[in-house]
Amino acid sequence: MYGAARHGRCALRAVRYLPSASQSSLRTQLVSPSSRLSLARPIGVSQFSSRSFHRQQAQAYAEENARAEDFGAEDISAVNREFTKFQELGDAKIIDQRVVRTLVDQMGIHTMTEVQRMTINECLDGTDVIAQARTGTGKTLAFLMPIIQRMLRDPDFGRKAPSISDTRALIISPTRELAEQIGEEAKKIVRGTGVQVQLAVGGTQKQFHLRLMQRQGCHILVGTPGRIKDLLSDPYNGLSMENIQTFVLDEADRLLDIGFADDIREIQSYMPKQTRQDRQTLMFSATMPRTVVGLVRETMKPDFKFVRTVDPEEAATHESVPQHIVFLPGLQNQIPAVTEIMYKAIEAHKQDPVNNMPFKAIAFFRSLNEVKMAYETLRNFRDLSVKGGMFAPHPLAPCKIIEMSSQLDQRQRTANSQAFRNAESAILISSDVTARGMDFPNVSHVIQVGSPHRREDYVHRLGRTGRAGKPGQGWLLLQNDERNDYRQLANSIHAKNIYEDDTLETAKLDMTQPSQLSAQTAKIMQYVESGVKQVSRVDKAKAYQSLMSVLNQGGNSSKQEIVNQVNELATYGWGLEAPPTVTRSFADKIGFGSVQGLQYREESFGDRDGGGGRFGGGGRRQVFDERDPFSQGAGSSGRGSYGGGRSEGGRGRESFGRGGGGRSFDRGGFGGRSGGGRNSDQKFGGGLFD
């Protein structure tokens, strides 16, 4: 892996200490003269000049977002509000004192945010309201407070035991994670009030949550559209919308964007007609694109109000935090570049904790199998200079490595989400399930690996950092053939602090050729090598196929170029003797049937059944050869998991020998160690496994 192929095989020569090498010679070798002139240069500065920036920003905002007149609503954004503190709402008997005491004394929340100040009192009289506010500004509390207060001031509330048929409020969220977050916050606020909050999301035990509702009752139901629709369609479970008072669509634009409009209409069909029972509808979102206008007119009462706390002249997250764009020579540079960002940020905090916040990042990948590959690699990092082997501390500790994707069951996702939320230092390897609405405090970095599918994806991912006025930074790691995507992105987001960054040494490293490395970069590459060795061939093969599909959808490279890229990744990035095999049906399905460089295997039962056969993680294999379990040829060295080098195709073993000078990596493991040359530059033999 990460090495020069010689005679069709990779000879492991990776890193050797060279006492005479200097940092100056290293940078001369790796960085072109033109790039050394400006290591971090803004792109398209002329487009974002100080004279025109705010005018362009306001114009773009007006074009992209709906206004009150588009909805036919009254805009109350400029109305002056009397109260700014939650205690003032309690003293004025606007909000129940039990709720105020919980907020102020137990949760430590004293001052209302702008969206809370502008909407809580307005919503108390049952008026329909659309509210647009930035992510991280307290939208959840803004709609929960009126819901709870309207229940508590009902003289009939609490006279009888809670019932599943007495649901007063329904809150719909686009994702399980966001619904869980809302439910958790609601349960904190209603302590001691008798209000029952229940959750209904996909991916969890439907019957378990239904029994909770039946046993404990349900006043506020928080859930995702599919599960809510499923529960309401069952006439025998007791759930009823007959007493519904408030219907909330959180992240309304996202609900529409991912195709929930029909589900929302069906859910509303289970509610009483507005002519029979008045119902309040609240819509909250960070953006309000014109695509939501149709649903708004269908859903809201004619006299609804519009509140916008987003000032077009005020910089959004993607317009305020610094954004570093890094172009990579190959897919095999992705994980090393992520690792270098981590390493430098962790070291910066250790050296100067006052001016550098703890490293806490979300790294977004474009497919579930890329998430799995990156997570398994990062969590298996080891520093070979530290005794203890696999039981040694993680070299980037105390930074925790956490995974988040829809491949995990709901229990794992909930636990991982909470672990990241509570961590001081961590990196969350994630798909887009955490890109919208999730509240993770103190995120210092957002790292996006690969070109986002859409501009909105980039913006919402970046919105996980720089929240509520705190510092943050964004990184976007692209391939050289994605420069056009970047230019389009830079032009569309109207940001003036987006830069092409040339400071990552691992991002300039040609891993197919021997190179001169600094001691720091050699250490980073050794971490990556130790991690990739532990990733199973099954996970590598899944990631291989996912990358082919993702890159094909991007449309930046020809199909032949895509195959060349992923094959280079398999050889120099994953240490495989040959690329993972695919079935002809898979290649034909994505239009790669005539492309050179693919290695084919026979169809198996698992392949036909969608399980992926040998590499798909499911299905029975019709043919199994214990000498060749991964279809790599009977003479394979089998280095995918452990870097081994036995000719009969076994797993291989790490061999630790005594070398005369420095560390030398040899085939089948790490072939030499000594105490010399620790701080000198090192020679990279073209690939971690070569």
* pLDDT tens-digit map of 488-511: 877 777 667 888 999 999 999 999
Using the predicted structure, report yes or no on whether residue 23 has a pLDDT greater than 70: no
Domain 66-308, CATH class in plain words? alpha beta
The predicted model gives 78-90 an average pLDDT of: 81
Share of the chain above pLDDT 70, in %: 72
- pLDDT-derived band at 363 (thresholds 50, 70, 90) equals very high
Radius of gyration of the chain (CA): 28
Q: Which residue type does 251 have?
A: E
- pLDDT-derived band at 435 (thresholds 50, 70, 90) equals low
The predicted model gives 651-666 an average pLDDT of: 34
What pLDDT was estimated at residue 332? 96
H helices of 534-651, where? 537-554, 559-568, 584-589, 605-608, 613-616, 639-642
Using the predicted structure, report yes or no on whether residue 635 has a pLDDT greater than 60: no
Using the predicted structure, report yes or no on whether residue 64 has a pLDDT greater than 70: no
Of 11-20, 394-403, 594-603, 613-622, least confident by mean pLDDT is 11-20
> How many whole angstroms separate alpha carbon 305 and alpha carbon 77?
9
User: What's the mean per-residue pLDDT of the chain?
Assistant: 77
Nearest to 100 by CA among 111, 89, 92: 89
Tokens of 653: 């073993």
Q: How far is CA 286 from CA 71, 129, 136, 261, 315, in A?
A: 17, 14, 9, 18, 14
What pLDDT was estimated at residue 300? 85
The predicted model gives 58-68 an average pLDDT of: 53
Span 533-573, pLDDT tens digits = 999 999 999 999 999 999 998 878 899 999 999 999 999 99
What pLDDT was estimated at residue 684? 57
The interaxial angle of helices 368-379 and 519-533, nearest 10 deg, is: 110
What pLDDT was estimated at residue 688? 58
Largest Cα–Cα distance of the chain, in whole Å? Answer: 88
Strand partners, 581: 599
Nearest to 507 by CA among 42, 39, 45, 21: 39
- pLDDT-derived band at 14 (thresholds 50, 70, 90) equals very low
Span 613-626, pLDDT tens digits = 444 333 333 333 33
Using the predicted structure, report yes or no on whether residue 303 has a pLDDT greater than 70: yes
> How many whole angstroms separate alpha carbon 560 and alpha carbon 539?
23
The DSSP H or E segment spanning 27 is: helix 23-30
Tokens of 36: 């050394």
CA atoms within 13 A on the CB side of 268: 19
- pLDDT-derived band at 276 (thresholds 50, 70, 90) equals confident
What pLDDT was estimated at residue 631? 36
Contact 220, 195 (CB under 8 A): yes
What pLDDT was estimated at residue 591? 93
Nearest to 515 by CA among 13, 57, 7: 13
What pLDDT was estimated at residue 674? 33
DSSP characters over 138-202: -HHHHHHHHHHHHHHT-TTTTSS---TT---EEEE-SSHHHHHHHHHHHHHHTTTTT--EEEE-T
- pLDDT-derived band at 9 (thresholds 50, 70, 90) equals very low
The predicted model gives 625-633 an average pLDDT of: 34
Strand partners, 17: 682
What pLDDT was estimated at residue 422? 93
3-state helix, strand, coil in the chain (%, to 5): 40, 15, 45
Quick one: 246 exposed, middle or buried, by C-beta within 10 A (0-12, 13-18, 19+)? buried
What pLDDT was estimated at residue 607? 58
Of 261-265, 668-672, 684-688, least confident by mean pLDDT is 668-672
Query: Higher-confidence residue: 464 or 363?
Result: 363
Nearest to 448 by CA among 565, 334, 352: 334
- What CATH number does the domain located at 40-64+315-501 have? 3.40.50.300
What pLDDT was estimated at residue 262? 87
Q: How many CB atoms lie within 10 A of CB 623?
A: 10
Contact 213, 251 (CB under 8 A): no
What pLDDT was estimated at residue 114? 87
Instruction: List all residues 6 or more positions away from 636 whose beta carbon is below 8 Å from its beta carbon.
Output: 577, 578, 628, 630, 649
- pLDDT-derived band at 167 (thresholds 50, 70, 90) equals very high
> How many whole angstroms separate alpha carbon 295 and alpha carbon 650?
60
The predicted model gives 430-450 an average pLDDT of: 82
Cα three-residue angle 118-124-126, rounded to 5 degrees: 115
Of 39-43, 250-254, 418-422, 632-636, least confident by mean pLDDT is 632-636
Q: How far is CA 640 from CA 299, 339, 523, 535, in A?
A: 55, 20, 21, 7
- pLDDT-derived band at 408 (thresholds 50, 70, 90) equals confident
Q: Which residue type does 54 have?
A: H
Strand partners, 99: none
Instruction: List all residues 6 or more positions away from 411 whose beta carbon is below 8 Å from its beta carbon.
Output: none
What pLDDT was estimated at residue 483? 86
DSSP characters over 23-89: HHHHHHHHS-HHHHH-SEEESSGGGG-TTTHHHHHHHHHHHHB--HHHHT-EE-TT---S--BHHHH
Contact 433, 405 (CB under 8 A): yes
What pLDDT was estimated at residue 58? 45
Of 257-271, 311-325, 422-436, least confident by mean pLDDT is 311-325
The predicted model gives 271-277 an average pLDDT of: 88
What pLDDT was estimated at residue 482? 87
What pLDDT was estimated at residue 636? 35
What pLDDT was estimated at residue 459? 82
Tokens of 160: 């009888």
Tokens of 676: 């010399």
DSSP characters over 209-261: HHHHHHHH--SEEEE-HHHHHHHHT-TTS----TT--EEEEETHHHHHHTT-H
The predicted model gives 585-605 an average pLDDT of: 89
> How many whole angstroms separate alpha carbon 64 and alpha carbon 48?
18
- pLDDT-derived band at 407 (thresholds 50, 70, 90) equals confident
Nearest to 666 by CA among 7, 8, 18, 3: 3
Residues of CATH 3.40.50.300 domain(s) within the chain? 40-64+315-501, 66-308
The predicted model gives 608-637 an average pLDDT of: 37
Q: What is the dihedral of CA 600, 605, 607, 610, to 10 degrees?
A: 180
Tokens 């050289």 locate to 480
The predicted model gives 511-525 an average pLDDT of: 91
The DSSP H or E segment spanning 676 is: none
Query: Higher-confidence residue: 170 or 68?
Result: 170
> How many whole angstroms separate alpha carbon 344 and alpha carbon 354?
16
Note the pTM of the prediction, 2 decimals: 0.62
Q: Is the preceding omega at residue 579 within 30 degrees of 0, hence cis?
A: no
> How many whole angstroms separate alpha carbon 178 and alpha carbon 249?
12
Cα three-residue angle 158-160-166, rounded to 5 degrees: 85
Distance of CA 333 to the CA centre of its chain: 20
The DSSP H or E segment spanning 599 is: strand 599-601
Q: What is the dihedral of CA 29, 35, 36, 41, to 10 degrees?
A: -150
Span 334-349, pLDDT tens digits = 999 999 999 999 999 9
- pLDDT-derived band at 13 (thresholds 50, 70, 90) equals very low
What pLDDT was estimated at residue 62? 47
Of 122-136, 181-195, 439-453, least confident by mean pLDDT is 122-136
Tokens 């939208």 locate to 139
Contact 341, 165 (CB under 8 A): no
The interaxial angle of helices 368-379 and 334-351, nearest 10 deg, is: 50
- pLDDT-derived band at 606 (thresholds 50, 70, 90) equals low
